Amino acid sequence: MEAFDTYQTPLSSRYASKEMAHLFSPANRFHTWRKLWLNLAIAEKELGLTQITDEAIAQMQANLDLDPEQFAVAAEEEKKRRHDVMAHVHTFGKVAPAAAGIIHLGATSCYVTDNADLIFLRTALTLLLSKLAVVISRFAAFAKEYRALPTLGFTHFQPAQLTTVGKRATLWLQELLWDLRNLKRARDDIGFRGVKGTTGTQASFLALFDGDHDKVEALDKRVTELMGFGYAYPVTSQTYSRKIDADALAPLASLGATAHKIATDLRLLANLKEVEEPFESTQIGSSAMAYKRNPMRSERICSLARHLMVLHQNALMTSSVQWFERTLDDSANRRITLPEAFLTADIVLTTLQNVSEGLVVYPKVIARRIHQELPFMATENIIMALVKKGGDRQEAHEKIRVLSHEAGYQVKQLGLENDLIERVRQDPYFDPIKPELDTLLDPQSFIGRAPEQVDKFLAEWVEPALQDPEFAAALQKGTKAELNV
């Protein structure tokens, strides 16, 4: 009952995946801190600090995970000391007494807090990359299936020349591929803060090793290796530059923009009754209007994507006000911003995958809308066909113009069907091309190279991107995305 009496963020309690929620959990955070302390001690011992014993290392290794009792001890320590890192230093020392005197030796708080955050950023980006690859594969299958199905195009949300359902999906896919590239670049660029000391000068470690600069450099490199990073940032202040947070959140914000565009297109298509997101047999669209099938998944994507785009601004502002070697006004902000950004991106991708796996296309509705608008679009073809038969282009244009306005009146003023073609058929002026009218009005003749563009794009861009071995496991799993709510 206690859980219902306390506010919980819906990002973790309502929407997020277990993997992403666990990554930013207290249990994982403090486990990571302990691993950082362990590897610091291992490296210091390797480089000659004799006060670090094998027993100390063994006890630290055996107690990397915290049980509920240790969380309670840490909470009490923090209440007393008003310092979360020192609270956990003391808590760790109680279960690893042989190491109590050497835990955190030479380090500043940011050794564990910042290095842990970099680990979380890199891991979170890796989780998102695999999810995004699956989303891309689903939309690619959709684009392939409907590569040649003509549909009315829209510019300014006004009827325009035809495209295909599959070609429209490639526009979504291209932006998702850019997001895949951007997330990968950001992930691969993340380094380790390393072992830099209180203001980044490594003075404390230089004192530990009696002024031996080579050993201090070796310590920095060794801990970086033990934590699985290819490099450490060459210079830092007390913290790693908060610009790195901004760089990590930038591709998330961009992904939010892509997802919002896709979901908005689907919401508009749902209104047109041409394409709908999944709708379960027992799902209720409205508490009052029982007939409704609201695009709630796409609306959720738009809602969360807006939040995701805004969070990047937070990281930029935090980066811009870090005075000299550090201030602490970043701390509380980052505790909220970083987890929320990745939890939100995770939820957006899960929901987008769920939508992509259950899209429903209504070809007859699409064909009916084409039939309503195509006569107007076919007028140029009719004029050119008449000219080929020896007609006068200007005279043909005037004839079509008059009939088009008459048909437009029927549609707009009387609410009737577009009867332009029937008017053409009844006018003797068009006798020379009447046998060709059906061909001139074939929607397939208005879609240009759309099907071929779909084929080429999938073969040359999408498939190579998905062949990255990093995504193999996620793509082979074939699991469909299930929403918690």
Q: How far apart are the C-alpha atoms of 45 and 18, rounded to whole Å?
A: 37
* Cα separation of the two ends of the chain: 20
Query: 153: which strand partners?
Result: 160
Q: How far apart are the C-alpha atoms of 276 and 268, rounded to whole Å?
A: 9
Helices 109-145, 165-189: inter-axial angle, 10-degree rounding: 160
Nearest alpha-carbon partner for 32 in 120, 116, 125, 117: 116
The pair of structure tokens assigned to 205 is 């470690």
287 is catalytic: no
> Dihedral (C-alpha) 477, 484, 300, 259: value to the nearest 10 degrees?
-20
Catalytic residue among 13, 22, 83, 286: 286
The pair of structure tokens assigned to 139 is 């939309």
Nearest alpha-carbon partner for 84 in 403, 331, 411, 416: 331
Contact 106, 49 (CB under 8 A): no
The pair of structure tokens assigned to 455 is 């084929």
Q: How far apart are the C-alpha atoms of 119 and 32, rounded to whole Å?
A: 9
In 116-219, beta strands by DSSP E: 150-155, 158-164
Nearest alpha-carbon partner for 112 in 143, 85, 152, 83: 85
156 is catalytic: yes
CB within 8 A of 163, min separation 6: which ones? Answer: 150, 151, 153, 447, 450
**Helices and strands: H and E segment counts in the chain:** 21, 4
Residue type, 303: S
Say whether 162 sits in a helix, a strand or coil.
strand
Q: Catalytic residue numbers?
A: 156, 286
